[in-house]
Amino acid sequence: MIYKKRENQKVQADQNSLVIKSMKEDLVKIRVSDIYLDESIYPRENIDHKRINVFVENLRDNFKFDPIEVQAYPDPKVSGKKGKYRILDGAHRWSAYKKAGLIEIDAIIKTLNKMDPLLYAAKMAIGPRQLTESETRNTARRAFQTNTKLTSSEIGKAIGRSRQAVDSYIADLRATTLLELDLKIFHLNLLGIPQDRIAKRLGIPRRTLRDHLAEMPGLAFPPNSDLSKGFTIPQVAQKHGWPEPMAWSQALTGKDDLSRFKELNWELKTWDVWKFIDCDKRFGDVWPGRIPAQLIAHILYFFSKQNDLVFDPMAGGGVCADTCLAMGRRCWSLDMDDRLDTRPEIEPYYWNLEGKWKDLPIITSKGKPDLIICDPPEFDKNAQGNAKKSISGLSKKEYLNFLEKFCLFLKKISKKKTRLAFISKDWRDYQNCPADKEDPSQAILIDSYCKILQKAGWKLTHIIQAPLSSEKFNAEMVAQMQKKRILGSTGRYVILLK
Ligand SMILES: C[S@@+](CC[C@H](N)C(=O)[O-])C[C@H]1O[C@@H](n2cnc3c(N)ncnc32)[C@H](O)[C@@H]1O
């Protein structure tokens, strides 16, 4: 095994590789086969094979090369490269070692902290042989695309060009990013999210936000003009790069709720059974436990009015916010899953299990919701992966305790007139169990939710049935269930409270 140590640091053996790790950087020997050339952080367009051949000759003459520089693969679980390294500097030396059939190579393992690896690699590449003009330009563009917060002078310093030169390399990308930022601001503003939270969410100063907001009427003008020329909503959304629900919000401005239902092609159900065959794909992302936009629209129609503020504390795929845009309601959404690029309107928030929620963003904001639409994940005794971190992964007792605290908390942040729509289903452990053998102590039935909600001070006004489709049970499963007298469950309810 190895190893010259560069600094006298704490060491820890790693059985998967030939390396000893230290706190900063080590000079070590690494297997050539454990190192990769990662094109996403390689600043040159081509490898120079002549140069490699010269290096191979040098190696045969026992010439000693400087160590190459590598970085441990980030996100090894995603890349599948646990215990492997990618090259920051020395692609030609490494290729020569490989070609010469050598097993190990001297390397320095770098920890870059916040420095962009592509820019670091570019900086290192400039020394021995300048990058070509096209390599420099591409590196600047790739670095900016990976991190749009990089300034031109930061990029310029790494690639050895002036700020003005970098400005010219990335002018078009910067314009698109600005449009994206404008769109995000427009989106969040339409949903009624207060300015301090928009600025925080998008990582921009309040003054910048105010400047952008002043431009908003102009931003809506081109799509509105296309709508008035008779282009369809999907066409307008696609042409201007808008999310479709935003295009709907513009197209339906000034219309009453009934006309909105009509234009959206949703049949309004007049009775207290709301059954929908499919989720409307125009609203919300594909998401575990996704609810149809039509269901949200019915809650909005019967229990809120236009411009009301809706609060969705566990927003998942964002169907509630999307439907609120189409129905002309404001909406604040939270979820533990953070997707700034695709769902900036869903602010990241983790409902910790101790019930300490004093840092909740909406508490410090003015305004209380008119309607809360709460769609918690159901209890899952076999929760895996991400679901383990969610309340699904709690024990049944902890899950019910959490809901008790949560419903009480929702009451606290409500005003007198606030409505709560709590979406839920019976949870029964019916798989492989005949109906008359089911253990009631294992179940969480709808009456348990009602009791918890009432205990928290909410008054029950309606229980609406909104059954799921039974399509998830295929013919073979149904035959087995019938044979074993298993009673499946497709029930789902919207419990309405004040
Ligand atoms: C049933 S899903 C909501 C689905 C959503 N209504 C839709 O149609 O897309 C419940 C959501 O609660 C979130 N969640 C679960 N536990 C949470 C916690 N402790 N804090 C914040 N969010 C949580 C999950 O990430 C999940 O997106």
What is the tens place of the pLDDT at every residue in 418-455? 999 999 999 888 878 899 998 888 889 999 999 999 99
317 CA distance to ligand 1 middle (Å) = 8
The answer for 359, left when phi > 0, alpha when psi is -120 to 50, beta otherwise, is alpha
Same structural domain for residues 147 and 258? no
Same structural domain for residues 155 and 294? no
Does any domain span residue 233? no
Six-digit token string for 97: 């070692």
Final residue of a structural domain among 169, 184, 213: 169
What burial letters (b/e) apply to 460-496, b meaning 16+ CB within 10 Å?
A: eeebbebeeeeeeeeeeeeeebeeeebebeeebbbbb
199 CA distance to ligand 1 middle (Å) = 24
From 283, 291, 314, the mutation candidate for ligand 1 (largest count of ligand atoms within 8 A of CB) is: 314
Residue type, 445: L
CATH number at 117 reads 3.90.1530.10
Q: Is 339's C-beta closer than 6 angstroms to any atom of ligand 1?
A: no
Task: Write out the DSSP string of 422-448.
Answer: EEE--B---TT--GGG--GGG-B-HHH
- Please identify, by atom number, the ligand 1 atom nearest to the C-alpha of residue 285: 9
Six-digit token string for 44: 């040159």
Same structural domain for residues 45 and 148? yes
325 CA distance to ligand 1 middle (Å) = 20
Six-digit token string for 171: 């002018």
From 335, 337, 422, the mutation candidate for ligand 1 (largest count of ligand atoms within 8 A of CB) is: 335
Q: Is 246's C-beta closer than 6 angstroms to any atom of ligand 1?
A: no
Does any domain span residue 381? yes
Helix or strand run (H / E) with residue 18: none
402 CA distance to ligand 1 middle (Å) = 14
Final residue of a structural domain among 169, 185, 218: 169
Residue whose CA is closest, atom 16 of ligand 1?
A: 390
14 CA distance to ligand 1 middle (Å) = 38
Same structural domain for residues 21 and 154? yes
Same structural domain for residues 364 and 261? yes
Q: How far apart are CA 187 and CA 345, in angstroms?
A: 7
Does any domain span residue 29? yes
Q: How far apart are CA 320 and CA 333, in angstroms?
A: 8
Helix or strand run (H / E) with residue 495: strand 493-497
374 CA distance to ligand 1 middle (Å) = 9
Same structural domain for residues 131 and 275? no
Q: Is 287's C-beta closer than 6 angstroms to any atom of ligand 1?
A: yes
CATH number at 492 reads 3.40.50.150
Does any domain span residue 449? yes
Q: Is 360's C-beta closer than 6 angstroms to any atom of ligand 1?
A: no
167 CA distance to ligand 1 middle (Å) = 41
Q: Which domain holds residue 107?
A: 12-169
Same structural domain for residues 382 and 487? yes
Does any domain span residue 289? yes
| Sequential pLDDT tens for the chain (498 residues) | 222 233 333 333 333 333 333 334 678 999 999 999 998 899 888 888 999 999 999 999 888 899 999 999 887 777 778 889 999 999 999 999 999 999 999 999 998 877 889 999 988 887 656 788 888 998 998 888 888 778 888 899 888 889 889 988 988 777 777 768 889 999 999 999 999 999 999 998 999 999 989 888 888 889 999 999 999 999 998 888 889 999 999 999 999 999 999 999 999 999 999 999 889 999 998 888 899 999 999 999 999 999 999 999 999 999 999 999 999 999 999 999 998 888 999 999 999 888 888 878 776 656 799 999 999 998 876 666 666 678 888 888 899 999 999 999 999 999 999 999 999 999 888 878 899 998 888 889 999 999 999 999 999 999 999 998 887 778 888 999 999 999 988 889 999 999
Same structural domain for residues 151 and 259? no
Does any domain span residue 98? yes
Same structural domain for residues 287 and 424? yes
At 297 the pLDDT is: 98
314 CA distance to ligand 1 middle (Å) = 4
371 CA distance to ligand 1 middle (Å) = 18
Q: Is 197's C-beta closer than 6 angstroms to any atom of ligand 1?
A: no
Does any domain span residue 191? no
Q: Is 405's C-beta closer than 6 angstroms to any atom of ligand 1?
A: no
Q: Is 104's C-beta closer than 6 angstroms to any atom of ligand 1?
A: no
What is the number of domains present in the chain? 2
CA distances from 18 to 4, 84, 261, 407 (A): 13, 10, 65, 54
Q: How far apart are CA 198 and CA 425, in angstroms?
A: 34
Hunting for tokens 């820890």 — which residue is that?
12
Final residue of a structural domain among 124, 153, 169: 169
Does any domain span residue 367? yes
At 241 the pLDDT is: 85
DSSP 287: -
At 13 the pLDDT is: 32
